[in-house]
Amino acid sequence: MATNENLPPNVIKQLAKELKNLHETPPEGIKVGVNDDNFSVIYADIEGPAGTPYENGLFRMKLLLSHDFPQSPPAGYFLTKIFHPNIATNGEICVNALKNDWNPTLGLRHLLVVIRCLLIEPFPESALNEQAGKMLLENYEGYARHARLLTGIHALKPKPKFKTGAISESTTALNVDQTNTSMKCVDQKNAVSGVAAPQLLPSPLTPKPENGQDYPTAMPSTGETGVSGSKAAPATQKKEAGLNKVPADKRKMDARKKSLKRL
């Protein structure tokens, strides 16, 4: 494998310029990574094009530059398993840009774009994977189904993760605010109408204590004094009646004494 020491200085300079350009303005659906100590191995992540069996997939590949690059074309391999007519089971890529149509003036950007286009329009006539090429020509639905299956197993892009904690806290706070607002509205309504806020009665399904007596209720009895001049309790009424009866008896006794004195 070639290293930076095996590549001519002018080639290293050109590669560094291309890689910088690819990093700053990457081609659609392609991200490039490289080892600064070894420009002879170029890695790229290719997104499966929409409308193809590879949609929603993320495929990693690499280009291996030869020691006499760019006079000789690089070798391309898919590292992610893929079902495609022009990609062998070992990942080797068969495309004219890496074979007969190679030109030393072609840059890395051109190569990567051609390889991604291969996912959109395969060439079953020059298939490295004969099974995929035959299925593509004779039974496209079966080919597409198998390609989607392998994409879902080996190349499915990870879904973004969301912070559910913050959402839950916000939802809880919203529910609490709504509850408080509802209670305030009930209190204000009762204050305007002059009716006291209702008190909760114990549930009819509340179990009774072992001695057979019911639990005491929170509602006041009908004899207690309420808001807007309710009747006094029976005990209070009896006490007041007793106090009123004493002065009346005393007046009767005084009247009898006066009558006896007159006789």
Q: Which residues form the catalytic set?
A: 94
Q: How are beta strands 38-47 and 30-35 bridged, if at all? A: antiparallel
Structure tokens at 197: 């806020």
Structure tokens at 155: 């190349």
Q: Is 207 helix (H, G, I), strand (E, B) or coil?
A: coil
Q: What is the DSSP string of 157-191?
A: PPPPP--HHHHHHHHHHHHHHHHHHHHHHHHHHHH
Report how far residue 252's alpha carbon sits from residue 242's, in angstroms, rounded to the nearest whole number.
Answer: 16
Structure tokens at 195: 């009716």
CB 104 within 8 A of CB 46: no
Measuring CA to CA, which residue among 93, 76, 82 is closest to residue 143? 82
CB 168 within 8 A of CB 174: no
Q: Which residues lie closer than 8 Å to 233 by C-beta, 6 or more apart?
A: 221, 223, 224, 225
- Please give the order of strands across the beta sheet that includes 75-78: 30-35, 38-47, 58-64, 75-78
Query: Within 25-139, where are the H helices?
Result: 108-120, 130-138
Helix (H) or strand (E) holding 33: strand 30-35
Sequence letter at residue 182: S
